[in-house]
Chain A
């Protein structure tokens, strides 16, 4: 593993210009994906996680979307400086995509085999026969039973889980270095989700690729991630290894998100408040209007600079991790809350 990350996103800003104002969907986001690792970007709807991932290969509709700043360096090349033509080599080639809804990602009137062959021949100088063989091999490797016989089947002849396997096969068609998967298991049942997550892990090892997985589900993160980036309202709140972030959650938002999870013996604590208006985000930390620990400084200036929590790679965008504050206050308060055994009053989800 080299020192240079495979993908380095630096201060990315993607805005959408609408009649009602400029939506700052992604507003200064930075993260790295190293070779062979799985990075999960986690956040709720409106956090900007999908827009951030789609900005990498410019899949966002432009206009109204616009990447107004930042860098996306992939294997030493700044993708944002490439022309559309040059970018095509990366999009679907060295960078594969898997989307949430497998139904929408496949053409209903073409056989699945044809769709994989198309992906192969778009990026590679392969003969029909060779492409067909590779497609069958791919279907086999993503766990489609009897791959050769199913090559000529249409998408509707596959179940949801099997369709997602086909979509993964299309994404793997050109041996990508990076696979970007946006909520790949959200539309699937929990037993099928477990199968697909296991498949992604196996394939990652087999193909030696990196995976950038976008999800709202902390359970999925725990299952598959090496490193985690927590996003809220277009900003990165916390990042670190999966163990650092989930076992030692340090940003008040990460803590709140974990507290929202149901089914833990009555420990669920609703967060209260609502996501800020993306056209007019609050100053200071984007989370401060909902944060139980907010102090005056939280509302001033821009999103706080990253401070470290415990280990050097575990970074938190919160003033409590700056000099002059005591970050243990955040965790102590939380422990006290859960000992009392009562949740905060569930206020309206605001407006």
Chain B
């Protein structure tokens, strides 16, 4: 069976972890890895796995897009460079899956809106943030039962799993995740907090989701909805687990989660990488399946904006 050929932009933690997931895909084939540091661990690993590599940034990839038949690109750089990267690749007819907090395209959390998104034929989809991928399914699970006035999430990440890009741009993480709690989670107001914990051995990613619902919480229905959604997420993130809750205190629902990774690039504590890269891979696979069966055709380069 043929596969859709892909490029990975950004050779840091996220890009490298994603590469391992794509190498296992039935419908995606990673062909290029793009970095800016020739000595980066990610580029070395990509070369070992037989990918073509460039350390010249996205401009090093552009001349090869057509000849190598690249149809989907993943951007794991930063919100600041993403806008240009996306424009350049969209111009060449390449669909962009955005793993930065730039959020210039529609937001995507697979179990929440992936099916719906497919019909819209976007050329850029945004994966929000690791915390967003881990928590929005829970907010959506609660808001599917009754209206959520306010959703607040706290993501605790191990220090070793948080790369320099995220560290230098924490505000973008905060804004993008808070916004997505509203847009996709269905909360009237969203707030995201991130904590980076340096403990050794590193702690597994934890996420706490608080929802304040309108009226008295329907405990049985919310509990059932949360548990069903956990099963959905576990399909692509097997280490996604409910530790405590849902706990009900007045109109407040508290859900305590743990996300263990598969250990593809960083060890299993870095579930924050996996939840993001698995969601991106899942999203791209859905588009790839539709490209392969002919239900989705990307615009020709000369027609693309």
Tell whether A pairs with B: no
Contacts from A to B (Cβ < 8 Å): none
Interface residues of B (CB under 8 A from A): none
